[in-house]
Structure 1
Amino acid sequence: MITHSPFQCDFRAILRLISPGDDVLLLGDGVIMGIESGITFPALCNSTQHVYILKVDLIARGLLIYISPQATVITYNEFINLTIEHPQQISW
């Protein structure tokens, strides 16, 4: 789970810790990383197969229309299912 803007965290360190089979969830200010024209999303996609973004956080920031179609926008219920599916989690 990435909750911080790429401008307020060590994005390169995060990329080094993500394995190809990991699922990544962007929430809070972390949803900024899902912007299609941004510099962080391509790097994130190269690090993992699945990038999920919490819809309510996108709406709250007015970013829903700017998100890459490669990302999966999810609801709170789907967020809960992801946390059940992945009992080991790391938050940045």
Structure 2
Amino acid sequence: MLHIIKSPSGLTDAINLIQPDDAILLVEDAVYALFRQSSSLIGLKDQKDRCWVLQEDLVARGLVDLVNVDAQLTDFKGFVCLTEQHTQSITWD
């Protein structure tokens, strides 16, 4: 399952339902979760191989130069590839 997270509250809602084989993609305002020490993302930081962040959303928010991400950067083409690799996806607002 691919969890497409669009906001910090969406991450909070999803975090307890994410399974070990699931992938996480942070988009839109969810990219701010990378900067919050109290974020639900802290529990996933050791699982960088299954967590992505949409680079265009970091750029749009002026965060691309500030981030030392514990996630993999991807672009829209990578976003499409993630949806192709996972037969199911869910979007969290």
Q: Which bracket does the TM-score occupy, shorter chain normalised?
A: 0.7 to 0.9
In structure 2, relative to structure 1, the CA distance for the partners of 1:47 and 1:74 (3 Å cut) is closer
> 1:38 matched to which residue of 2?
37
Q: Secondary structure at the match of 2:89?
A: coil
TM-score by length of 2: 0.78
Q: For 1:73-88, list aligned pairs within 5 A.
A: 73-88=73-88
Q: CA RMSD in A?
A: 2.2
Larger strand proportion, structure 1 or 2?
2
Aligned partner (choices 6, 21, 27) of residue 3 of structure 1:
6
Query: Comparing both chains, which one has the higher relative contact order based on Cα–Cα distances under 8 Å and sequence gaps of 6 or more?
Result: 2
> 2:56 matched to which residue of 1?
56
Residue 68 of structure 1 deviates from its aligned partner by 3.6
Aligned length: 88
**Matching of residue 15 in structure 1 with residue 15 in structure 2:** yes
The runs of at least 4 consecutive aligned structure 1 residues that moved more than 6 Å come to: none
Give structure 1 stretches of 5+ with no counterpart: none
